[in-house]
Structure 1
């Protein structure tokens, strides 16, 4: 009989111990775990909490700041292309401002930096000649261009957005030759 009483006593003590360990989790309302130090509380709790006057972490502390990202060094060719395009930017901007009614976009060809591409806003019978004579010929050579192409928009429903209408090529004699496509 003493043995049975001891077993009942151990079972009751174990049950009480388990109840006190589990009951706080079962009886308390569902809450998220406390936020880690230095993080914001969950969004639903922010509206009810008064604003905190917390000073930002000291910037001199190495643990509180992330290092500045290291930029990938450019190859010589990429650096030269970026420098050239920065020097050409005023030329592109001037063309887009002066010919804003006729041009939609102006830039150098991605594969050949010596090729200027002009994208017309509309197709017109003499527009490509007008753009080449007035926009390209005066300063294209000074900006390092040897070829200029004028693209016209295609009709709606076409696979390509634009088509080549005319091309001007700088000859070895220093004269531009215009080819209508």
Structure 2
């Protein structure tokens, strides 16, 4: 199985690569459109600021490639947010894969949310063998409000969509590569999804 982690200068890609290796697979880091298209599974990471990350994607043409992919794709953290229509962070237009927008947490909660929180309302094979209300690791100041693509939910001041699914695209707000056995199981489930 060929696994490609999209390398566009906005991700903690090494920790994701190591997490994949711990599951017994090898992943390739690539920004090459043809190599990404030929992958069996694609991981779209993201750490940093939405506006600059989208600029990097546009500069390589990957903003046009990612929405056309047909194999299973998972966006992680900022990667998931960039797959939405729009983010309040930097007033950024996203890839439009998930038909929802990204909002900033209001001042009633400490921002960013850093640390462990629970995922509930699990509704996908992505969460096979993951118990309701398991803890995952999150670091973010922006969130996706509850929407029709939601497959998991987290509460932090508000209930928000902590995982999304539409067609062959998945997104998780949390970091599976930093979420211990639960995150490992979610990554394993993603790698087993048939295209």
The TM-score normalised by the length of structure 2 is: 0.22
| Higher strand content, 1 or 2 | 2
The TM-score normalised by the length of structure 1 is: 0.23
Q: Indicate the structure whose relative CO is greater, using CA pairs within 8 Å and at least 6 residues apart.
A: 2
